[in-house]
Chains A and B, each alone.
Chain A
Amino acid sequence: MNHQRRDVLKAGGSLGLFGLLVAAGLIRPEVAEAAWNKGAFDAKTLDEAFAALGAGKPADSADIQITAPDIAENGAVVPVGVVSNLPKTEQIAILVEKNPFMLAANFEIPAGTVADIQTRIKMGQTSDVYALVKADGKFVVARKEVKVTLGGCGG
């Protein structure tokens, strides 16, 4: 019997199971995030991305402010800022709904760091920008539409 093949199959099977567990939110994100969260970055739909981040179906929140231009002339460089006024904010993720890679960045905010992040992202086309915030163990989300004149993901 080919033992090596069996081992490879076993390893593959367990990896798949781990991925499923992460996606289902059964494994706590703290464990999963020890490495780059591939599932979340590869997600093709918002629901998938939220699930891979362990967020499920987050509720809307008015306590998150997204600072981004209404119209971005150059989609290659869109300044985006996220401020969360929720106490105990521990995570901020920035997602662009219509990008091939939705999840742009995921920030983990330790105690003592202000939930106020600014960065620059690429946008392929006009889209909603989502800020997913985990505060006190709960996920909430806010969105803002940014119109893009010139896409930043083309060749």
Chain B
Amino acid sequence: MANPMRIRAAAKDGLTEVRVLMSHVMETGQRKDAAGATIPAHFITELTAKHNDRLVLSAQFGPSVSTNPYLAFKFNGGAKGDKITVSWVDNKGDSRTDEVQIA
């Protein structure tokens, strides 16, 4: 199981800004280790973000996204105490879901 994400969500003037920092190696499959063997690709492929039960963002990632991916986005609506849920799945089938309340 991967490490938890750090999620910040803040509502201001009817707009909610969400910032997510995931913890993931995002290995491209292009690098070689000290012995010259290729390190297999291991990266997040899909991500979804929900406000309560409503989908506010879905994304597909490739290996060109940085290690420990960062993502920030905004959506209309959202109030203090509402739930923000972010989930991801990687190419090895590992997954992680974390939730926070809008501050």
Q: How many residues on the A side are at the interface (Cβ–Cβ under 8 A)?
A: 37
**CB <8 Å contact, B76 and A100:** no
Measured between beta carbons, the chain B residues less than 8 angstroms from A105 are: 59-62, 64-65
**CB <8 Å contact, B73 and A118:** yes
CB distance from A54 to the nearest CB of B (A): 13
Measured between beta carbons, the chain B residues less than 8 angstroms from A106 are: 59-60
- Pair count A-B, CB < 8 A: 104
Measured between beta carbons, the chain B residues less than 8 angstroms from A109 are: 57
Interface SS majority for chain B? strand
Interface footprint category on B: 20 to 34
B: residues with CB less than 8 A from A are 15, 26, 28, 30-33, 45-46, 54-67, 69-77
**CB <8 Å contact, A153 and B28:** yes
CB distance from B39 to the nearest CB of A (A): 8
Given contacts A154-B31, A155-B31, contact A121 B60 (CB under 8 A): no
**CB <8 Å contact, A153 and B30:** yes
Complex Cα spacing A79 to B21, Å: 13
**CB <8 Å contact, B60 and A33:** yes
